[in-house]
Structure 1
């Protein structure tokens, strides 16, 4: 039962506090709790990790925030936590003002996900630890807007399928040991009957009954942590302001249910139980911790300029035993293995085919053509299996004919083919015993009708090519192209700028950008030439577009992660550029890809440092590039790039891997005022998803 609002306001005033009261709607049940104190021995272990982390990763000045007997203090506070969980104002190791910044809030950095709702289940520990892990994935790996499954964490782990409580140490231990899957793998509400049933039907205030539902492809959508650590005193503020958010537990009293904003201090009401939340900051001015709750956006009333409400709250230092048990942090986010991108091709006017390795690393394709408004598929291509971290690439060598290439798990080079009349794909055939370097893919180009040239990086780091044309009974090659040594984890990209002319581009071991060329009359490849002193970022490749016959534009992510272009056309004695494109900055481990949607029009696409998907454009009459514009609020998975296809003049389709590893597509054509919303492609899930 909610406390009397008038009496509660009087008690707050009499105690000299100023937090606001929310009138609890009639019939609203108190949300679930479920935090339990951690075992003292386990806290001791986590505290030693904190000391090690401080020495290895933090600036030397952080040492001043640590007690000389930090481990002993943590063990003592753990023991007191169990004994005083229902003591409102016990202060143990409460922070003192000074040393770290006077205030900090991770919401200002865009890494805190939306407020969630555990409803009537004691799963608060799982909500807090899942939220912290997602935030650390954004901070450490740029995986923005990641939504992790509290149901996977709570019901499918060692905790088991029930709504009972848990402790922060054990929960983080499970994320370290088994990882945590994405929300789309195991949605929270799918753990309950519809409508949810009470665990004890005779008690209207009992928790919900929960189940462990089947998870789809969990192993390929799992994020884990290298370790977790326990922190006390001012070291918590140093950690919060320099590393990331944390999780904590505290005692909940009846007046907390009526919280409506401001800095909470307990004044009245009975003890309800222990509760875990994510700590996202602090304020020495207000003498409080700043937290994200898991009771929905209605908790705390509407969002207020003071940063409280809509699911967020502030709680005074030392209140409700919040400082008795250490706060926990986690670090070393381990991402799912992922393909670098989804690729596509237009085999004829308004016909699109897309390709991605699936969660089993199988080779999959989906298609859309004509008046169809959605993709069909995914069909597996002949049981093919793709090497980790590589993409599949297809080319249309003449109308409606498709040739697909991939690096197999044995790092061999393989191809499959489809053409009208085929009832299924043909292949996979091994291409001349070729073996590709780890982390590299095959790129293909058709330099004239039914002629194919492919390029890859060999295990010796050099560039190789093979070719096929009508009349050949097998592929010819592999031939080594010059002596250029290629940077690790980069691929070679090619373009045919006019009939039977080939230009290829690679990032050298010195991170310089190089090109080589072949055309009829050459007895061997010419090059490698360095393109204007350009330097590429690690793990990024150079992509080329021919926007009209014999004109070349290339794009790369520079060593400063800026996005750059250079150009060549007949009459130039050397390449022109590099020009920076509108101040764009790309996420680590990504490349820029683009397309010429009609003669002399260029559109390029990149993943920004916030993992948003952005585009810029150039066409005749422009004095500079236009953009960057965000494409329909799209967000890409970490370490993935965006691929573009033009299926008809001036029409654009782009493909990406979302943060939940769904394969997604957006479209633009003349007449549209903005890009169409991102849509899943036939329910496909990419490797790592």
Structure 2
């Protein structure tokens, strides 16, 4: 089939006094097969019946009272239209159009600017992992039933191989279901959805509520659209497409819409289409209302986890929704309890004769490394890599619980107070143990350690003045000790949930749990309550997630979490 040339189209548009301009766009250069790949509407029997009925709207009829003759939700008490996106080589336009509507409604109803995951809507829902098409009513039903997570939780391109490969079943990109741990933290859903076919009702809804998702027929010349009010000029019918309708103009006799072909097409991704064109106002438009966003993060607990422990607990996560906690029992053995995503398991005895409370860290999924000070004041190491090892002696002469952290695969750093009250450091670099290295200071507690990137370590201790002190490694050498103030009544704990973020916990002057954090500046102290009989253990399995563990006055373990 002969390719539609922009030059010939431009001549035809001038001859017919059309009100739009054509140009070469990225999409107009596509092959016929690639052009069709951008379209992904499966018209329902109801839509087919509407098309075959030959319905004609009276665009000259007066509007209902109070309905504006011009409307654009990019400038209607603010901009409520999110950025133009790109569906790539995939027929996911229905999820892009419906997601855009939900994002706009969140801005209108709640004043929140969201960036939601079209991948979660299209591939992780009942639609399934395919770039094949869909219909707006089914898509909106899924957004009501299961919602969709944020783009940050599941990026669109993460649903494909890198680089993407073609699925022989569809001749489009092959998509996959990708896990979205901790869905509740970013999941957005809708309370209701519907379909509107009446012309006056559409304009009334646009005025009173907000944008809608619309489907229409796409011809070859649409791929060449640059600006103005599009009307069909020439070219082959390629299929059905879905977009977000964000307004209309009675003076220009057109609808205003946001496309999902990137900003290189049209008017930076937006377009106008004439009333009555390409069945744009024939097929039903989909609505979404009652946006439900996740509750603001808050502290939960205290939750009793039982046991009879005689030390500060230590906690780590090796992956999403996984926590492992160890503590010393009344028999001086190390005991283990773990959360597997649905329930707490254990207690499990891991043996040993512990002078100190244990430390635990992880450098990979399914990997745990634990450390204790034995009755001879040396450091001992026991690890899990499918099964538990025996105890390995690592030397040293230590006078506190150890602290352990990993900054990357096969890397471990261990810290403890020595007999001279200084902080001592031992490390595993993947092939051998290095150290012991004295880092100085005069400690009145066991140290805490965290890492927020490769080759970064942050350590914290209680000084002899009961204030919190900080020393860090940033790849070139150890800093001096930084005084962070406060009143520290016991061993601190530290963790990082992401780059440039550190959270520190410790017993305060009244033995409540205190919280201090770094987020490009130090904040706190925050009193989180409780009555602690030990220092604090803490882990994080996702950005914005914290799990704290302490020994209570009844020697049981208690859990408080931020989510």
TM class by smaller structure: 0.5 to 0.7
Look up the match of 2:213: 247
CA distance 1:336–1:362, shift in 2 (3 Å):
farther
Map 1:160-171 onto structure 2 (within 5 A). 160-171=128-139
Contact (CA 8 Å) 2:492, 2:506: kept in 1 or not? no
- One of 21, 30, 43 as aligned partner of 1:37: 43
The alpha carbon displacement at 1:6 in A equals 2.2
Q: Does residue 176 of structure 2 align to residue 196 of structure 1?
A: no
The alpha carbon displacement at 1:181 in A equals 1.1
Q: Does residue 111 of structure 2 align to residue 153 of structure 1?
A: no
TM-score by length of 1: 0.45
The alpha carbon displacement at 1:214 in A equals 2.3
Question: Which moved further from structure 2: 179-188 or 274-283?
Answer: 179-188
The alpha carbon displacement at 1:296 in A equals 0.4
Report the Cα distance in structure 2 between the residues aligned to 1:314 and 1:273, rounded to whole angstroms.
Answer: 19
Largest Rg, 1 or 2: 2
The alpha carbon displacement at 1:227 in A equals 0.8
Look up the match of 2:285: 327
Report the Cα distance in structure 1 between the residues aligned to 2:251 and 2:270, rounded to whole angstroms.
Answer: 18
For structure 2, the residue ranges without an aligned partner over 5 or more in a row are 301-318, 326-404, 406-438, 440-448, 454-464, 471-486, 496-504, 525-539, 547-561
Q: Does residue 69 of structure 2 align to residue 102 of structure 1?
A: yes
CA distance 1:131–1:95, shift in 2 (3 Å):
farther
Look up the match of 2:97: 128
CA distance 1:98–1:27, shift in 2 (3 Å):
closer
Report the Cα distance in structure 1 between the residues aligned to 2:39 and 2:286, rounded to whole angstroms.
Answer: 18
CA distance 1:37–1:27, shift in 2 (3 Å):
closer
- One of 79, 82, 86 as aligned partner of 2:49: 79
Instruction: Provide Cα deviations, 1:478-513, integer angstroms capped at 9, x if missing partner.
Output: xxxxxxxxxxxxxxxxxxxxxxxxxxxxxxxxxxxx
Report the Cα distance in structure 1 between the residues aligned to 2:5 and 2:91, rounded to whole angstroms.
Answer: 26
Instruction: Provide Cα deviations, 1:29-73, integer angstroms capped at 9, x if missing partner.
Output: 436101122343xxxxxxxxxxxxxxxxxxxxxxxxxxxxxxxxx
CA distance 1:184–1:16, shift in 2 (3 Å):
same
CA distance 1:148–1:101, shift in 2 (3 Å):
same
- One of 216, 224, 232 as aligned partner of 1:258: 224
CA distance 1:363–1:339, shift in 2 (3 Å):
farther
Report the Cα distance in structure 2 between the residues aligned to 1:224 and 1:423, rounded to whole angstroms.
Answer: 36
Paired residue secondary structure (1:260): strand
CA distance 1:192–1:453, shift in 2 (3 Å):
closer
Map 1:602-641 onto structure 2 (within 5 A). none
- One of 69, 74, 86 as aligned partner of 1:117: 86
CA distance 1:399–1:168, shift in 2 (3 Å):
same
Report the Cα distance in structure 2 between the residues aligned to 1:229 and 1:376, rounded to whole angstroms.
Answer: 49
Instruction: Provide Cα deviations, 1:629-673, integer angstroms capped at 9, x if missing partner.
Output: xxxxxxxxxxxxxx99899xxx95579xxxxxxxxxxxxxxxxxx
Look up the match of 1:3: 4
The alpha carbon displacement at 1:13 in A equals 2.5
How many residue pairs are counted as aligned between the two chains?
Answer: 351
Map 1:549-564 onto structure 2 (within 5 A). none
Q: Does residue 437 of structure 2 align to residue 399 of structure 1?
A: no
The alpha carbon displacement at 1:362 in A equals 9.1
Paired residue secondary structure (1:319): coil
Report the Cα distance in structure 2 between the residues aligned to 1:219 and 1:15, rounded to whole angstroms.
Answer: 54
Map 1:275-314 onto structure 2 (within 5 A). 275-300=241-266, 309-314=267-272
The alpha carbon displacement at 1:131 in A equals 1.1
Paired residue secondary structure (1:282): strand
Contact (CA 8 Å) 1:91, 1:323: kept in 2 or not? no
Contact (CA 8 Å) 2:195, 2:285: kept in 1 or not? yes
Q: Does residue 149 of structure 2 align to residue 181 of structure 1?
A: yes
Map 1:190-589 onto structure 2 (within 5 A). 190-200=158-168, 206-231=171-196, 232-300=198-266, 309-340=267-298, 376=451, 398-400=466-468, 451-452=509-510
CA distance 1:267–1:338, shift in 2 (3 Å):
same
CA distance 1:91–1:210, shift in 2 (3 Å):
farther
CA distance 1:79–1:93, shift in 2 (3 Å):
farther
- Cα RMSD between the aligned structures? 4.4
CA distance 1:209–1:453, shift in 2 (3 Å):
closer
Report the Cα distance in structure 2 between the residues aligned to 1:175 and 1:273, rounded to whole angstroms.
Answer: 24
The alpha carbon displacement at 1:97 in A equals 4.8
CA distance 1:418–1:153, shift in 2 (3 Å):
farther
Report the Cα distance in structure 1 between the residues aligned to 2:450 and 2:56, rounded to whole angstroms.
Answer: 60
The alpha carbon displacement at 1:445 in A equals 13
Report the Cα distance in structure 1 between the residues aligned to 2:179 and 2:155, rounded to whole angstroms.
Answer: 11
CA distance 1:327–1:195, shift in 2 (3 Å):
same
Instruction: Provide Cα deviations, 1:514-563, integer angstroms capped at 9, x if missing partner.
Output: xxxxxxxxxxxxxxxxxxxxxxxxxxxxxxxxxxxxxxxxxxxxxxxxxx
Instruction: Provide Cα deviations, 1:94-128, integer angstroms capped at 9, x if missing partner.
Output: 57453310111111122211100001110000001
CA distance 1:686–1:243, shift in 2 (3 Å):
farther
Report the Cα distance in structure 2 between the residues aligned to 1:19 and 1:212, rounded to whole angstroms.
Answer: 40
Paired residue secondary structure (2:173): coil
Report the Cα distance in structure 2 between the residues aligned to 1:363 and 1:221, rounded to whole angstroms.
Answer: 24
The alpha carbon displacement at 1:423 in A equals 7.4
Instruction: Provide Cα deviations, 1:571-594, integer angstroms capped at 9, x if missing partner.
Output: xxxxxxxxxxxxxxxxxxxxxxxx
Report the Cα distance in structure 2 between the residues aligned to 1:113 and 1:324, rounded to whole angstroms.
Answer: 26
Paired residue secondary structure (2:41): coil
Contact (CA 8 Å) 2:140, 2:193: kept in 1 or not? yes
CA distance 1:684–1:24, shift in 2 (3 Å):
closer
Paired residue secondary structure (2:21): coil
Report the Cα distance in structure 2 between the residues aligned to 1:318 and 1:341, rounded to whole angstroms.
Answer: 54
Look up the match of 1:13: 14
CA distance 1:682–1:419, shift in 2 (3 Å):
farther
The alpha carbon displacement at 1:5 in A equals 1.5
The alpha carbon displacement at 1:311 in A equals 0.2
The alpha carbon displacement at 1:328 in A equals 1.5
Report the Cα distance in structure 2 between the residues aligned to 1:158 and 1:33, rounded to whole angstroms.
Answer: 19
Map 1:645-656 onto structure 2 (within 5 A). 652-653=521-522
